[in-house]
Copies of this chain bind each other. A is one copy, B any other.
């Protein structure tokens, strides 16, 4: 009998398998290798990587796997009895979803960083995990290095969360920061972000707000216990933000950020993602570059904010490893199979009439008499009013006008924008939310 058996091999070790070995996967391997002792002192178990499955085993890797077998067939993980926890960092919806289901069915616990998957297919995977009494955790899926999901689940269990808002996409925050600090246009800032590796060659998911929307779907599940699909959200990206808007916002005391907001209004929930003018003394205004931050407003806790790197190899790997440690602790206590978020609550979506905010409008008006009067009429008829109205420039033919409204509903906003679109001599250049 081998020595390791005598020392209680199957008792004291937890076998980990990896599905994918890209940037985050390599970071997870490094952290498990480097911090073995600290993890053992906390969990009472040794975490041992037993097997890695990748698409291309010949690709050079940045970590030394020693003699850990690297193969290409997920069945190798599914059927390896020495693997208890599988880390899915391969990305994609399919085949990742199918693989995770097979792993859960085979009795593995799963940790994933795959936000698209959790946002779109989370419900069925979570249900299967609970059914099989297996853990499924995904801290790294939202705001990379910020432990926001575990914090909402563990630290607000008795509080009524009123709002979760934040900067949850590092790429767009980097681009907006460059535009803001260096007077760059959107196109120039995007190009720079791509060169520096902060934006992908096809940046659509980031700049259109889709990535942020997926994260808000996951945050909404934790904060309000309800499941949404992408169609339930109002989503606007940053590709429509002009340098002029950013400068105008600056001169009024605001910073333009891509803000995701999920909030309760009279028992209904409203979720949106869009460019937003954030008052400079608001804690989200100072979140720069690729960093993320999530503001949680609790009826009891008040305003709390959690700030940190939104992505990056090691921050994301740290979140994955905190999940692995948490699963390990559950294995030790024999208490696996509870949903990562076990707060479920039936709630309806708020209507356009319920959801209120101040708005910034930028308009281009033909420089002929009566244009401002027409605009003011539209506002009055919609029962909307403005705090500030300024003509910012005029070239003789066209005048540029900026307006900040008092709080209006989404329904009023839609009426105003539709009516302005019908005006023969006016063009609406931007309409962004304002966060005081």
Q: Does the CB pair B308–A155 fall under 8 Å?
A: no
A299 to B321, CA, bound (A): 14
Asked whether B301 lies within 8 Å of A39 as measured between CB atoms, the reply is no
| Known pairs A286-B283, A307-B306; A157 contacts B300 (CB<8 A) | no
Tell me, rounded to whole Å, the shortest Cβ–Cβ distance linking A347 to chain B: 13
B-chain residues with CB within 8 Å of residue A326 when the two chains form the complex: 154
Q: Is A151 an interface residue (CB 8 A)?
A: yes
Taking the complex as formed, is A312 at the interface, i.e. its CB lies under 8 A from any CB of chain B?
yes
Stretch at the interface among A61-69, A73-81, A142-150: A142-150
A-B contact pairs, 20 of them (CB 8 A): A38-B160, A38-B343, A39-B158, A150-B154, A151-B151, A157-B322, A158-B318, A158-B321, A159-B321, A283-B286, A283-B307, A286-B286, A300-B314, A300-B315, A301-B308, A301-B309, A302-B308, A302-B314, A304-B307, A305-B308
Q: Please, what's the 1-or-0 string for A11-48, where 1 marks a CB less than 8 Å from any CB in chain B?
A: 00000000000000001000110110011011100000
A125 within 8 A of B: no
* Chain A 302-345 near chain B by CB (<8 Å), digits 1 or 0: 11111111001011011101101110000011110000001110
> Which residues of B have CB within 8 Å of A91?
none
Question: Does A122 interact with chain B (Cβ within 8 Å)?
Answer: no
Q: How far is the CA of A286 from the CA of B305 in the complex (A)?
A: 12
**A156 contacts the other chain (CB 8 A):** yes
Q: Which 3 A-B pairs have the closest CB atoms?
A: A147-B155, A304-B308, A300-B314
Contacts of A314 in B (CB 8 A): 299-302
Nearest CB on B from A122, distance (A) = 18
Q: Are B303 and A308 in contact, CB atoms less than 8 angstroms apart?
A: yes
Q: Which chain B residue shows the least CB distance to A286?
A: B286
Interface centre among A139, A147, A298, A299, by most chain B C-beta atoms within 10 angstroms, is: A147
Q: Using known A-B contacts A158-B318, A158-B325, determine if residue A145 contacts B343 with beta carbons closer than 8 Å.
A: no
Q: Which of the residues B300, B319, B321, B335 comes within 8 Å of A318, measured between beta carbons?
A: B300
Which A residues are closer than 8 A to B by beta carbons? Answer: 27, 31-32, 34-35, 38-39, 41-43, 139, 145-147, 150-151, 154-160, 281, 283, 286, 288, 298-309, 312, 314-315, 317-319, 321-322, 324-326, 332-335, 342-344
Q: Once the chains are docked, how many angstroms separate the CA of A333 from the CA of B338?
A: 11
A151 partner residues in chain B, CB cutoff 8 A:
147, 150-151, 155
- Contact B306–A304 (Cβ < 8 Å): yes
Kindly state the separation between the CA atoms of A334 and B43 in the bound complex, as whole angstroms. 16
Which residues of chain B come closer than 8 Å to A31, judged between CB atoms?
158-159, 300
CB neighbours of A34 from chain B (8 A): 160
A321: chain B residues at CB < 8 Å are 157-159
**A301 to B288 CA separation, bound complex (whole angstroms):** 17
From B139, B154, B308, B322, A322 is in contact (CB under 8 Å) with B154
Q: Which residue of B lies closest to A283 (CB)?
A: B307
CA of A307 to CA of B304, assembled, Å: 5
Q: Which residues of B contact A156 (CB under 8 A)?
A: 147, 318, 322
Residues of B within 8 A of A41 (CB): 342-344
Contact call B302/A309, Cβ cutoff below 8 A: yes
Q: What residues of chain B lie closer than 8 Å to A334, measured between beta carbons?
A: 333
Kindly state the separation between the CA atoms of A303 and B324 in the bound complex, as whole angstroms. 21
Residues of B contacting A333 in the complex (Cβ-Cβ under 8 angstroms): 333-335
A41 to B139, CA, bound (A): 21
**Given the interface contacts A155-B150, A343-B41, does A145 sit within 8 Å of B302 by beta carbon?**
yes
Inter-chain contact B309/A303, CB cutoff 8 Å = yes
Q: A35 is contacted by which of B158, B325, B332 (Cβ under 8 Å)?
A: B158
Task: Write out the residue numbers on chain B whose beta carbons fall within 8 Å of the beta carbon of A317.
Answer: 300
Whether A300 contacts B27 by the Cβ 8 Å rule is yes
Contacts of A145 in B (CB 8 A): 301-302, 304
Contact B302 A158 (CB under 8 A): no
Q: A41-B343, A302-B308, A303-B309 are in contact. List 17 more A-B contacts (CB 8 A).
A: A38-B157, A38-B158, A38-B343, A146-B304, A147-B156, A150-B155, A155-B319, A156-B318, A157-B322, A158-B318, A281-B288, A300-B318, A301-B309, A301-B314, A305-B305, A305-B306, A307-B307
